[in-house]
A and B are shown apart, each in its own frame.
Chain A
Amino acid sequence: MMRQSDRTAKSERVENNEAAIIKELLDEAHALTAVEIRTWSASWLLSPIHGTFWLLRLDGSRLVDGEWNHVLRVDWNDKLPDGSLLSDECNRKYLTFLQQAAFLVREEVRDIRSSISHCIYIMVLKALTEWIFTRSRLYSPAEFGFANVDLAGIHDFMQKYTRGALFESGDYATRFLREIDNDSFETLKNLKKPTSLYELPQPIVKKIVQKLNEMGYYSTTGGCGPNRGLRYINRTKLADLLQTQHHTFKSYRAIAFFRQFEEDYKKKFGKLLVRASDIKTECLSHRTKFNDELNSIPAQQITHAVTTLQSLEELSPILPLSLPPFSTQLAKSPFQRYFDEAGKSEHTPWMPIDVSLAYLNESLRWVLTYGTPLVDFYIKANIHFKDNGLLFERGSRYAGERRSLARDGWTRGNLPQSLRDAGIETWCTKTRRHESKKRCSVMAAMTILFGACMYIISGLLPVRIDELVSLKTTCLVFKKGCGFWIKKRRGKAVENDTHETMDVPVPRASATAVSLLIRLGTESKNFVSGYDDEDAKYLLYLPNFQSVEMLSIGIRDEHTINYAVDMFCDHVGLPTDKHGRRWYARVHENRKAFLLSFVWYFKFAALDAARWLAGHTDSRHILAYIKNNFNEENVTELEAQFLSEALWNFGVSRHRRSEIRDIGNLYRKVCKHFHVSEISEVREQDLSDCLELFLTQGKIHIDVVNITSTSGVHRIALRIRMSNKKDKTS
């Protein structure tokens, strides 16, 4: 009976869902008219097309009191290089074109199914805008848009954009020099030898530093990281000066440029491009690059730029201001070269497995050992504080101090022993810097616990950050005879901004972490202010551990997750590398590490499972992904062995004998016998050629496998090993 009703409920749900899809499809069909009239409206655009901002639909967008919640906002009032705003009257023609282009890119040209991906195209369009307005004299964009741009121009843009995004395409380095000290800029222009803006002559640097000093552009770095107290050029002031947003200066190119005028940083970090902003972690991140690593370009950045340019080409029959078409059917697309370059670009770094195991072990300790008592105590304490007036009330500063002391006192009196063992002493400390590795407050411990939970979940299951953020409190399922499952979004599978979901297996430890968070979220209803039942369906709707008295609550985002994981990593305190960098785990790095290591461990047998976990539909994608990553410099002997074994299996044709199933075992057995990591077979002639080459290089040891019989000695195989002498000679 039970099952019957379940099925009815299920089929009803399916029908409702189908009805909605049919309705959307038919609505769209009915809107088709044989005669071309564009209405410039679409279901994903929640605001008028020619407004100064756009609201884009997201999964879960809803209208509350006439205002859209959970939407993506795109502003169209950017400051342009010539000082005008994009939304100014003089740029109206251009803006109209740009908005129509942005609209048509999604609606007609590209297959874009979510606002998130749409935004990437819009960002490139904006970078193009900045670039073309630095070239106003040449192209008069306000009047002609991109109509006058030629291939040379495109190449200029691509070079700049792929190297330094907005910073380069908007030519901010030049703009900065001219703004601060036009004389220096003129001298620079007149130098006989052309000089890179990134390696300015010392006199000019000195002059600019002096000017910046006079103009009051230097500030002192705060935070608690290794760059605390160092003087840097205030980016917000710079942004005001150069009429832009401060995120323009976030690229490594920008850092490298401004670093020339930041003596303190240069002295302390040398060529390491440490970000000139407050660092909240104890050490530098492993992602901090060196000055000479700047030339690697993220592959996606190139692809996005090129596809946007191609879309503009396609739009030129509709929008006269768009880019004239360069590619013809006969000639190779001029953009192909950029795709070729994209192949060589950088990938997400691969966290060393011993580091990830160390973090995993500590996160297990936190979740399994401290997790439950800590959450219990946190909830109990907050309820106690609320009932006893120890949370925010109007009053003097003195009252605040008194409450703080009372909280600490209560904490000391009621803290269970298990948490004291974890080094927890007080309720809260004033700043992050007062926390130490061994001793911390309950509030800091909660952040660390949250970071540990995030680490466990993302370390044992490949998830994307948006999949993590969008987990629901109902995501956890236990299946008899199988184990725990989590229902999450399925990666990039999205239709009309609605994400598909999939169920994935998780171990008990992850389930424990999830259940801790569920408990924390639900119970916090009793003491936080502004609890929202609608938001509460998200797993990461958690109290803010930094607000002690107000006790605000909100859905964690990428930023706050990263902060918590950073806190966790600092608490674990793994040693840094020789440049003072530490691995601070990131969700996408964990995803990658899981997939690669999984396939590496189980070899080809794991490809399908990896494909499925990653939410791909084709094994070849995951295979390409793996190959891409195995080609990095960290291809060790082990990886070579993996490949050789894989190749060994592939060398065999499809017609096989049945006993061949154990070939892998046999292979490994023989490897062990002969103390080798791979076996290959070579024809006699090839072998002698090859040996000659090896022997002339003189770096190898060769052992001969002989079979001696009554008739003589037969050489059957060779064992070749790289010489250890190499280490001594090099």
Chain B
Amino acid sequence: MTTPRRHAAQPSGGGAMEGFELVDGKFIARVVDEAALDRTHVLGAIFDNGESAWRLLKGAQAHVFQSSSYQTRGINVANLRKVAIYFRAKGVVTMPVTASDWQSAIIRIYEYHLRDQPGKATLRTRITQWQEGIKPLLEFLRDVAKIIPQTVKVPPKRRFRAKQQPNFNKGTVADGTIQKIGTAQDINETSALLLNFDISQTNAEYLENYRDRLITVRSALDADCVAYVQSMAAHFEYGARLLKRCTEAQANALKANYRAVKGSAYREMRRHLEKDNLPGTTEISLARIMRLFLMENRLGGVKQIFKSTWLPAWQCVNFPPDIPLPPFPEFNGAARRFRWMLGFIDVTDLCILHMLLSLRNPTFNAISLFDAKLRDKRGNLNFTFVVNGKAFVVDKRRVRAKKRSTLDEESILAVNTLLQMTKQARDLLPDSSPLKNRLFLLNKYDGACAMRYETLYNFADSESRSLRCLLPRTYATGIPAAHVVPKRIRRTNAVLEWFKTGSVLKAARLIGNSTKVVIKHYIPEALLQAWNVRLVRRYQNLLLATASAHETHCLAATDFSTPAELKKFIDDMLNEHSPTSSKLAAIVHERFCHPEQFDAGDEQQSATKPGSLVVNISPRNLSVLYAFRDVAYEKGFQSLQSPTSKRGQISSEAVVDLADLLTTRLPDHHDTAIRSAHVEAERLAAALVDELRSGAFATLEKQE
């Protein structure tokens, strides 16, 4: 019998340790996550389970547990586990000694990994796993741990780039005769998004419907989460106020009065105190119940605790009429509302808080957000105040990067609610507890408690019950409950952002990742392709139409079948792209534009070279401009004209448009001086409006 041995990776510092352990002839690797919860992986037997196995594990240890991200450590352990399994599968029962023994062992497990291992992993996944995970492990064992002899080579010789480009048109046309193809496209790709969609529509319809559907679902989710969090916050605030009306001392005094009445103390109390015999309908009544509840030995659920003689039966409890509204009228979680009032937070609450933060701050990675710390290693608060609001930083350990997002109002509400509700329980935690510094923690009846990320987002229960009960608007959109997960939320955000601008670069910036990551993971290839194809086809047809503008073969040259379609397309292009936007646009306008479409205005000026308009940014100037706009909106554009027709007068629309343009831009300008000038100007403008009401006009004058 072997005595249990254990090898710790980290010096013991309270809580569980990471490392390897031999239990019942099986090696176990333990990874501890940020909330100090254990994640064990069974490696199984390695070689003879003796010295050589320990030598291998000790050698690998520095590599496996090196990362500061427990997810990466987990992946490393999983790779080590694979190696252990492969060794057993290929009958490597003793540690190889010579270089050639090692070489052949490695080639055997490589073969097993690529070809023989059971499971559904695609070749590409297997190659990636090997190249990214197992090969570095083996190389570490060879180059750093010196367990594998130096001359042993780990295949493959060069990185293999598996074929990536999905081909959308598998069908071919034999010898050029044309075959019509309407394929239902790669199902996996599209279902990776929040929604599954029908591909049989035309491009434009399909994109439009697709986008609208995404918007509907996302806004439903958002509305549900906001309502939930707002209601939660209101309940907590209300509860806190109520609790002040019945302090612990008052409750104790109350208890002292009725201590004699054993077994039915509350009934007695109720007879005296609740006039209409409805416990909880008045604030003081509910306050008493809450206080007495808090003083109970809180084990089990709400209903269990209410069995106490000091409390009414849970079914009898009512709420006062002025209690904050539930998230939605049909909400039937009375126990939940009661818990909220007392500041208790369960997994569902955390999940919805997490979801709201994810929806509003797409920069945050779901797991990093879940593991977010209040203070960083140096003790600095991870919240910083920025000009308009709060910013929060989340550490993305796996890539050693910090993601920062400026929180909007609802996000601030979510974070504040979470902090306040958990404050008491958090304060009770010893300083050494890793929980103390976490943003996300449970507040159960028996105190603060850690939980695993994996327990969040479990909406996919029978008949989507929890979705129906918690997120009714989302439920109404008919999406599968299993789709409400952060990955899909993130992709949805990216796709919607992308629809807004039509640019992945933009979406990439929003999501805080590099372009490549976005293309590969967040935007479904099929959607991307459809959009891009449309754009390419538009451009090709524009080129064709422009090239053959005055020819008889113009229509035949394009993909349009009627002159009306072609005209509509060209009009669209003329509207979308001004002649100065590009050389091609200039030619398009020249060849297709009707003369009256040019600005009649000042002919002499439009003939000269266009120049630049430089707006002088100072609070005073901007305030005049903004006041002008406000008056124009108030009294109509016509009111702001010079009484005598003056040379060089500019239409008031022009000035208003300029003001509108600046107000969309300046508040977010990167230059703080300009931002503050804007804020100052908006303040000053109010005073100027009166003055301008009595008459004002804009002119353009030559300066010599």
A and B bind:
yes
Partner-B contacts on A (CB < 8 A): 3, 6, 10, 18, 21-22, 25-26, 28-30, 32-36, 111, 353-354, 357-358, 360-361, 364-365, 368-369, 459-461, 473-474, 476-483, 485, 487, 490, 493, 495, 500-510, 514-515, 518-519, 522, 597-598, 600-609, 612-613, 617-620, 623, 636-638, 641-642, 645, 648, 651-657, 659-661, 663, 666-684, 687, 701-711, 714-722, 724
Chain B nearest Cβ from A429, distance in angstroms: 28
Q: Which residues of B lie under 8 Å from residue A670 when comparing CB positions?
A: 613, 654, 657-658, 661
Point out the residue from A358, A601, A705 that lies within 8 Å of B700, measured CB to CB: A705
Point out the residue from B559, B583, B625 that lies within 8 Å of A507, measured CB to CB: B559
Beta-carbon contact of A365 and B610 below 8 Å: no
Beta-carbon contact of B547 and A360 below 8 Å: yes
Q: Which residues of B lie under 8 Å from residue A645 when comparing CB positions?
A: 581
Segment of B21-29, B348-356, B449-457, B504-512 in the binding face: B504-512
Cβ-closest chain A residue relative to B667: A657
Beta-carbon contact of B558 and A478 below 8 Å: no
Point out the residue from A365, A504, A636, A710 that lies within 8 Å of B694, measured CB to CB: A710
Beta-carbon contact of A34 and B103 below 8 Å: yes
> Is B110 interfacial (CB 8 A cutoff)?
yes
Cβ-closest chain B residue relative to A505: B533
Chain A nearest Cβ from B668, distance in angstroms: 4
Q: Which residues of A lie under 8 Å from residue B577 when comparing CB positions?
A: 601
Interface members, chain B 658-704 (any A CB < 8 Å): 658, 660-662, 664-666, 668-671, 673-674, 677, 691-692, 694-703
> Is B315 interfacial (CB 8 A cutoff)?
no
Q: Which residues of B lie under 8 Å from residue A608 when comparing CB positions?
A: 503-505, 519, 528, 531-532
Chain A nearest Cβ from B669, distance in angstroms: 6
Beta-carbon contact of A357 and B543 below 8 Å: yes
Q: Which residues of B lie under 8 Å from residue A509 when comparing CB positions?
A: 544, 557-558
Chain B nearest Cβ from A16, distance in angstroms: 12
Beta-carbon contact of A638 and B616 below 8 Å: no
The answer for the CA separation of A364 and B557 in the assembled complex, in Å, is 7
Point out the residue from A514, A597, A653 that lies within 8 Å of B176, measured CB to CB: A514
The answer for the CA separation of A657 and B663 in the assembled complex, in Å, is 11
Chain A nearest Cβ from B472, distance in angstroms: 25
> Is B377 interfacial (CB 8 A cutoff)?
no
Point out the residue from B502, B613, B702 that lies within 8 Å of A717, measured CB to CB: B613
Beta-carbon contact of A663 and B664 below 8 Å: yes
The answer for the CA separation of A559 and B201 in the assembled complex, in Å, is 44
Chain B nearest Cβ from A132, distance in angstroms: 30
Cβ-closest chain A residue relative to B696: A709
Excluding A481-B201, A703-B701, 9 further A-B contacts by CB distance (< 8 Å) are A34-B100, A509-B544, A612-B529, A617-B516, A619-B504, A681-B615, A681-B662, A701-B702, A719-B613
Chain B nearest Cβ from A452, distance in angstroms: 12
Beta-carbon contact of A677 and B611 below 8 Å: yes
Q: Which residues of A lie under 8 Å from residue B151 when comparing CB positions?
A: 34-36
Cβ-closest chain B residue relative to A605: B502
Beta-carbon contact of A22 and B115 below 8 Å: yes
Cβ-closest chain B residue relative to A501: B167
Segment of B59-67, B155-163, B338-346, B459-467 in the binding face: B155-163
Chain A nearest Cβ from B530, distance in angstroms: 9
Please list 29 pairs of residues, one from A and one from B, whose beta carbons are closer than 8 Å in the complex, sorted by A's number. Answer: A22-B114, A28-B157, A32-B107, A357-B547, A357-B587, A360-B547, A364-B544, A368-B556, A477-B172, A477-B181, A485-B169, A505-B537, A510-B540, A519-B176, A601-B584, A602-B539, A605-B501, A607-B504, A609-B532, A638-B586, A652-B668, A670-B658, A675-B602, A679-B613, A687-B614, A707-B696, A708-B696, A710-B691, A717-B614
Q: A473-B175, A704-B700 are in contact. Are A619 and B613 (CB under 8 A)?
A: no
Beta-carbon contact of A601 and B539 below 8 Å: yes
> Is B236 interfacial (CB 8 A cutoff)?
no
Q: Which residues of B lie under 8 Å from residue A657 when comparing CB positions?
A: 664
Beta-carbon contact of B558 and A508 below 8 Å: yes
Q: Which residues of B lie under 8 Å from residue A478 when comparing CB positions?
A: 173, 178-181
Partner-A contacts on B (CB < 8 A): 99-100, 102-103, 107, 110-111, 114-115, 123, 127, 149, 151-153, 155-165, 167-176, 178-184, 200-203, 406, 500-506, 508-510, 514-516, 519, 528-529, 531-533, 535-537, 539-544, 546-548, 551, 553, 556-559, 577-578, 580-587, 599, 601-602, 605-606, 608-618, 620-622, 624-625, 628, 642, 650-651, 653-655, 657-658, 660-662, 664-666, 668-671, 673-674, 677, 691-692, 694-703
The answer for the CA separation of A701 and B613 in the assembled complex, in Å, is 12
Q: Which residues of A lie under 8 Å from residue B605 when comparing CB positions?
A: 675
Q: Which residues of A lie under 8 Å from residue B703 when comparing CB positions?
A: 702-704, 718
Beta-carbon contact of B698 and A719 below 8 Å: no
Q: Which residues of A lie under 8 Å from residue B163 when comparing CB positions?
A: 495, 500
Q: Which residues of B lie under 8 Å from residue A490 when comparing CB positions?
A: 165
The answer for the CA separation of A508 and B554 in the assembled complex, in Å, is 12
The answer for the CA separation of A365 and B613 in the assembled complex, in Å, is 45
Q: Which residues of A lie under 8 Å from residue B546 when comparing CB positions?
A: 357
Q: Which residues of A lie under 8 Å from residue B621 when comparing CB positions?
A: 684, 714-717
Beta-carbon contact of B584 and A597 below 8 Å: yes
Beta-carbon contact of A666 and B698 below 8 Å: no
Beta-carbon contact of B179 and A29 below 8 Å: no
Point out the residue from B544, B581, B654, B674 that lies within 8 Å of A360, measured CB to CB: B544
Chain B nearest Cβ from A174, distance in angstroms: 42
Beta-carbon contact of A518 and B175 below 8 Å: yes
The answer for the CA separation of A331 and B169 in the assembled complex, in Å, is 52
Q: A478-B181, A701-B702 are in contact. Are A717 and B615 (CB under 8 A)?
A: yes
Cβ-closest chain A residue relative to B614: A718
Q: Which residues of B lie under 8 Å from residue A364 when comparing CB positions?
A: 544, 547-548, 551, 553, 557
Point out the residue from A506, A654, A677, A709 that lies within 8 Å of B580, measured CB to CB: A677
Q: Which residues of B lie under 8 Å from residue A687 when comparing CB positions?
A: 614, 616
Chain B nearest Cβ from A481, distance in angstroms: 5
Beta-carbon contact of A671 and B580 below 8 Å: yes
Q: Which residues of B lie under 8 Å from residue A482 when comparing CB positions?
A: 202-203, 533
Chain B nearest Cβ from A118, distance in angstroms: 14
Beta-carbon contact of A460 and B114 below 8 Å: no
The answer for the CA separation of A473 and B528 in the assembled complex, in Å, is 28
Beta-carbon contact of A721 and B608 below 8 Å: yes
The answer for the CA separation of A295 and B346 in the assembled complex, in Å, is 73
Beta-carbon contact of B515 and A620 below 8 Å: yes
Q: Which residues of A lie under 8 Å from residue B103 when comparing CB positions?
A: 32-34
Closest 9 CB pairs of A and B: A721-B611, A518-B176, A673-B654, A29-B155, A609-B532, A605-B502, A360-B547, A677-B610, A34-B99
The answer for the CA separation of A442 and B316 in the assembled complex, in Å, is 100
The answer for the CA separation of A578 and B535 in the assembled complex, in Å, is 38
